[in-house]
Structures are given as C-alpha cells and as structure tokens.
Amino acid sequence: MKRFLSNFGVLALTLVPTTTHAQTSQADTATALAFSPGEELTYQVAYGVVPAGSWSLRVEELGEFEGRPAYHFVSKVETNESVSVIYELSSAEEAWFDATEFYSLKYTRQSIENDKPRSRDYRFDQEQNLRITANGDTKPASPRAVDQLSIMYFIRLLPFEPGAKFTLRNMADPEDNPLAIQVLKKERVKVPAGTFETYLVKLDFKTNHGMFKKGGENLIWITADDRRMPIKLSSKIGLGRFRAELVEFSIGKTIASVD
C-alpha cells in the first residue's frame, strides 16, 4: 500500500514509436495536437475499493524554455484524509516539453511523504543524451528522452487503432527500454466525467516503473476522438489494483500548429 501511494502520481511511460501498425510523422503530429493550453484533467484515485486521493494534470501554457517553444505541464497528487492516517503523500511535478521536437527539456518533482520532503530536478541535454541535475551531476538519458510526466501527453500523439503495436525506446533511463504498447480494442467506458468511446491500451514494461509493474496488467483507456484523453488507468499491484478515473475536465484553447 505504501509503495502504491508513493507512486500513483508518477505515470512513467517514456515513449517514441519505432515499430507501429500505423505510422505518423512529426510534421503531421504538430498540426494535430490532442492537447492545448488550459486543458485540465482531474481524477479520483483508488486502491481496490479504498478511495486513496486525487490527481490532476494541467497544460499550464505554451511558451518558451531556453529559446525553445515548450509546453509547461503540471501534475498534483494528494492523498485523502482517511488514507493519510496510514500514509500521507503530497506531490507536485512540472515538466517543460519541446513543442516541435516532442522531447523533454526539464523536469521537477517536489513531494512530502509522511513529513519527509523529497525532490528531483533535472534538465535534458538532448544532443549529448544526458540528464543534468540541479547541482550539475549527470546521468545518461535515452535519445529523444521524455520524462515521466510529459509521457502522459506524448502517448496521446500516437496513431492508435485496434491492433496497433508500438515498440518504444526513449524512456528517460536507458535501462528501462523497451516499452511495448498494444491497442487491444475499442471499448465504450463510463467514468464519473461521462461515457466515452475509447481505445483500450496495454503496456508491457521491461522493469518495474512507478505504479506500473513488469509482467503486470497495466491498462489505459484513451478516448477515440481528436482529444485522446486518458479517462481511466488501471494497474494490478500484488493482490490489489490501482485505478484512476476521470471526474472532470476542461479542454483548453485549441491551437492549429506550433511555430
């Protein structure tokens, strides 16, 4: 339970399509972005039948980071009062994601777990394939690396259709590659925010990665429309199952392209 609660806000899937059932180009994707500034998705989170807290994802803005056009993403996680008696978690993640190259520029995470503060702060040198921490230490990064927050937006750009398969090799830590993704089918799903036509997507990890487990049943339901919103997430953890369901959303301001 403690391990689940400390990771349920970390949806770490770092992806780039290398083998797909349907191909797409960066130019095509840039003119048809599924998300836009002002979009906000709010989820209720549970472990089995036990309500655990809330989680939100927001596209704060489309601006610049070190001279590059960049999306600023923000994620916040809070455990509820009943769960906090056992284990308390509050976390905030931010990411700056290159709006034309579709890779990460910077990632931060600040969290408090049972009164213990934790932090992570690094920027990406995509030319040198490095993650550079706030104190200047370096760690290797995969080519065109995508951080664990930005990936929730990146996967929405993939050309989903039933039967599509993707072998993805740019998770930020090279040791975590590859990640296999399979679109199982279309499925109509009801969540608190409404009823949606979705793609049911299965994720197979090489290593344990946050809430998602090697060999586990890791699933995401993504709307089968232009917005490609993740409305439900599920991951089997031991004898229990993590679940996050969309309770409300705002679409944000539509943009036609990124210069």
- The confidence band for 88, taking pLDDT boundaries of 50, 70 and 90, is low
Half-sphere exposure at residue 107, Cβ-oriented, CA atoms within 13 angstroms: 21
In a domain, 233, yes or no: yes
Q: How many CB atoms lie within 10 A of CB 78?
A: 19
> 97 has which bridge partners?
71, 104
| Conformation bin of residue 82: beta by default, left when phi > 0, alpha when psi is -120 to 50 | alpha
What is the overall mean pLDDT for the chain?
Answer: 82
In a domain, 257, yes or no: no
In a domain, 110, yes or no: yes
Higher pLDDT, 52 or 23: 52
In a domain, 55, yes or no: yes
Task: Report residue 144 as tokens.
Answer: 């065109």
In a domain, 60, yes or no: yes
Q: Model pTM?
A: 0.84
| % of the chain beyond a pLDDT of 70 | 79
In a domain, 209, yes or no: yes
Residue position matching structure tokens 């509050």: 90
- Give the domain range for residue 133: 2-250
In a domain, 141, yes or no: yes
- φ/ψ of residue 81, rounded to 5: -65, -40
* Chain segment 169-212, per-residue pLDDT in tens: 887 878 877 888 999 999 999 999 999 999 999 988 777 665 66
Higher pLDDT, 88 or 171: 171
DSSP per residue over 30-85, as a string? HTS-S--TT-EEEEEEEETTEEEEEEEEEEEEEEEETTEEEEEEEEEEEE-HHHHT
* Chain segment 128-141, per-residue pLDDT in tens: 999 999 999 999 99
Sign, CA torsion 238/230/258/159:
positive
* Chain segment 4-27, per-residue pLDDT in tens: 444 433 333 333 444 433 333 333
- The confidence band for 151, taking pLDDT boundaries of 50, 70 and 90, is confident
In a domain, 255, yes or no: no
Number of domains composing the chain: 1
